[in-house]
Structure 1
Amino acid sequence: MSAAPAAFTALFQPYTLRSVTIPNRVWMAPMCQYSAEASGPYAGVALDWHFAHYAARATGGTGLIIQEVTAVSPEGRITPYDLGIWNDTQVEALRRITAFVKSQGAVPGIQIGHAGRKASTDRPWKGGGPVGPEAHGWQTVAPSAVPFDEGHPVPHELTAERIREITGQFAAAAGRAAAAGYEVLEIHGAHGYLIGEFLSPHSNKRTDSYGGSFENRTRFALEVVDAVRAAWPEELPLLFRISATDWLEEGGWTADDTVRLAGLLQEHGVDVLDVSTGGLAPHVKIPAGPGYQVPFAARVKAETTLPVSVVGLITEPEQAEKILANGEADAVVLGRELLRDPYWARRAAAELGAEVRMPDPYHRAW
């Protein structure tokens, strides 16, 4: 029996943002691989592992491949083993990935970011704790001299001059991403990294124009968006990933703040808000469960005109389809489930009676 047309599903409807049409609403979340060289002339350069990792999801039918957070500077990496996009050697290696992703009918995207006070740590399977110069580590920076957790170093508080410099690094990274062939760009403003550290009063204790009020705490995020939007081609879409809540009982970033910021981001040229939660403060109780972040995305969608994507324990095709059919989000973003099953989109299409592009050499298998 032949599959029903994709028109009968929400999950496999194309989605157009500016000049880019994404073939379906199954998007891959940016997930660090911690697999690049840590130092030397090839630090931060994509290797064969990265190519194979992203190529598998592209052949698996995923519509948009958002590459792991790629650092705008050496000091912006979460670990010394993260990908970077601060030099042209890195750009050359990334072109191989984008070319293959496009050849499979998927759209190549990239997330750029700066880890702030959560930088200079070891790989998770090595414990993930802070590392010093003897292990390729460095001095961290943040909006305020407030460490992430006990045992973490006190970050240097950024001066206004350094804030402007980092904003420029984001813009330069956006230009290199375009040169590398990416068609979607995402700014990482979530999970307690630098932009999120500015947003939350829990980590931002500044008394200048970058701290205190909502307007001041969101200033850096909007300045980065403006700088990136100016460097990123007008015809290509820009996403912003947000932690919709810090999950703190008081003194943190809230869902109300997220809705308020969403409207401002749209005014500044953001095309989709990619909704996640948490990551700013350690030891926070998060009520994780299937689709637990969907209500935050649904609220932004209901109260603003900014399109939203959502991530977080979305594992089953019917679950993903329901989120979209109910109008709670415009796309679903899969993380760990795509690590477990690179061909999740093909399985979902089969279960929902839709179709996704099949690589010619694989036709005999379906």
Structure 2
Amino acid sequence: MAAKLFTPYTIKGLTLKNRIVMAPMCMYSSHNQDGRVQNWHRTHYTTRAVGQVGLIIVEATAVTPQGRISPEDLGIWSEDHIEGLQELTGLVKENGAKIGIQLAHAGRKAVLDGEIIAPSAIAFNEKSKIPKEMTLEDIKETVAAFKDGAERAKKAGFDVIEIHGAHGYLIHEFLSPLSNKRKDQYGGSAENRYRILREVIDAVKTVWDGPLFVRVSAHDYTEGGLSPEDYIRFAKWMKEQGVDLVDVSSGAVVPAHIHTYPGYQVPYSETIRNGADISTGAVGLITSPVHAEEILENNRADLVFLARELLRDPYWPRRAAKELGVSLESPKQYERGWNI
């Protein structure tokens, strides 16, 4: 039987040639600090397309200048960003992969000059800046910025949009009771803490009808924080709103000790997938092709997201194919080196 890792996967009319996804990873390489695509991005992402990754998700891309994690982040807050992103999507597609983009706002974890914003005026840690508690107008403007970012992503030719709701950034800060102490309609109950994500999803869907993913941190690893069971409820709401896949990561809303090991987040993906009956992606120190295959064969996830392993080896899909006994078509230019 063919390895499931190398079977096509279709989601909302988009067919990926395999189940291997490059997870979004910040490159901090817009050194002119205007959020534009640089040669590094062109080389970095295109190389993974040549390496036969099925779907490449571009790093956290800020929907506002204030929403950058660092001054070197990519941006999508301006029409001026479309040209570079369009070039990037063209290069990746030309080399056989599909391409997505992660729309993001860093919230209180932004390391920038000037004011930063968050659901509550609580710093991430003792070394971090205290953010301004967002007004209702701030929230409205931020939701609109995600919508505008989605519209630009469509113009730039992306196949998939992923909303960043993980890793302690703005949307995760609203979701978690550890960072959201608001007393209004955006705080308190699970429904209220989910409200901004609900509004972002609804706003994005007014301009985007392609596959829509949401990345979540399914465990806060701290007493009083969120657990995978909490995310079953959130994922059910996402599914009702038309989200196609939940990309399941964990942690980083507060400083916490996390015991990591290969596949340590896969059980969270499995819990959400089964509990909410929604497609999921598994990520977290997945390096072995056999491990990736096991995750898919046992229906613990629908897609396998690789991060640092694809930094180490852009041609990991080729190694995986050889190990799993799959004949993988090589780029014509590389046939004399690959087909041996």
Task: Classify the TM-score, shorter chain.
Answer: over 0.9
Shift of 1:38: 4.3
In structure 2, the partner of 1:9 is: 3
How far 1:357 moved relative to its partner? 3.9
Does residue 175 of structure 1 match 2:175?
no
Q: Structure 2 unaligned segments of length 5 or more: list them.
A: none
Structure 1 distance, partners of 2:192, 2:107, is 18
Deviation of 1:305 (Å): 1.5
How many angstroms apart in 2 are the aligned matches of 1:219 and 1:263? Answer: 14
| 1:138 positional shift | 2.4
* 8 Å Cα contact 1:238/1:271 also seen in 2: yes
Aligned: 1:275 with 2:248 = yes
Separation in 1, partners of 2:114, 2:16: 39
- Deviating above 3 A after TM superposition, structure 1's stretches of 4 or more consecutive aligned residues are none
Relative to the length of structure 1, the TM-score reads: 0.91
Highest relative contact order (Cα 8 Å, sep 6+), 1 or 2? 1
- C-alpha separation in 1, matches of 2:66 and 2:31: 15
Q: Could you say which residue in structure 1 is the equivalent of 2:63?
A: 72
In the alignment, which residue of structure 2 is the partner of 1:240?
Answer: 214
Calculate the TM-score normalised by the size of structure 2: 0.98
Q: How many residues matched?
A: 338
User: Could you say what secondary structure the match of 2:171 adopts?
Assistant: helix
Say whether the 8 Å CA contact 2:229–2:271 is kept in structure 1: no
Partner residue of 1:100 out of 88, 91, 98: 91
- Residue in structure 2 matching 1:259, options 232, 243, 267: 232
Superposition pairs for residues 134-283 of structure 1, below 5 Å?
A: 137-232=113-208, 234=209, 236-248=210-222, 250-282=223-255
CA contact (8 A) 1:14 1:24 kept: yes
CA RMSD of aligned residues (A): 0.9
- How big is the shift at 1:356? 3.5
CA distance in 1, matches of 2:328, 2:231: 34
Q: For residues 167-196 of structure 1, give each alpha carbon's deviation from its aligned partner in whole angstroms, at most 9, with x where no partner exists.
A: 000000000001001001100000000000
Q: Distance in 2 between matches of 1:111 and 1:259?
A: 22
Q: Does 1:44 align with 2:35?
A: yes
Separation in 2 of the partners of 1:104 and 1:312?
26
Identity rate of aligned residues, in percent? 51
SS across alignment from 2:4: coil
Give the whole-Å Cα distance in 2 for the aligned partners of 1:202 and 1:210: 14
Aligned residue for 2:6, secondary structure, equals: coil
Aligned with 1:218: secondary structure?
helix
For residue 11 of structure 1, give the secondary structure of its aligned residue in structure 2. Answer: helix
Once residues 182 and 354 of structure 1 are traced to their aligned partners in structure 2, the CA distance between those partners, rounded to angstroms, is 29
Q: Write the distance in 1 (CA, Å) between the matches of 2:114 and 2:331.
A: 44
Question: For residues 54-110 of structure 1, what are the alpha-carbon distances to aligned partners after superposition, in whole Å with 9 as ceiling and x for unaligned?
Answer: 011000010000000000010010000000001122110111110111111110111
Equivalent-residue separation in structure 2 for 1:138 and 1:271 (angstroms): 36
Give the corresponding residue for 1:347: 319
